[in-house]
Amino acid sequence: MTYHPQWGLMDVYAATIPDQIFEPGIHVNYGETVLRMVDGLPKMKDFPSEMGGSGVTLPE
């Protein structure tokens, strides 16, 4: 897990909960990816502006 005190947010990695059904809704930090995804989900350059990022989306 990763705690983000500036947002009061705790990341719990989906892979650590075997019975949890995980359906992603967005890719963050996509500007740094080495594996391009063509899945129709929004791709953020870094983080959404609400989380202190640029809010810039990138094309698939």
Q: Which domain holds residue 42?
A: 23-60
pLDDT band at 21 (very low <50, low <70, confident <90, very high): confident
The count of domains in the chain is 1
Q: Taking 90 as the threshold, does the pLDDT of residue 42 lie above it?
A: yes
pLDDT at 59 over 90: yes
Answer whether residue 39 is part of any domain. yes
From the centroid of its chain, how far is CA 51?
Answer: 11
Q: Answer whether residue 3 is part of any domain.
A: no
pLDDT the model gives residue 4: 86
Residue 7, domain member (yes or no): no
46 within domain boundaries: yes
Q: pTM (2 decimals)? A: 0.67
Asked if residue 11 belongs to a domain, the reply is no
Please indicate, yes or no, if residue 12 is contained in any of the structural domains. no
DSSP 53: S
Is residue 11 within 8 A of residue 4, CB to CB? The reply is yes
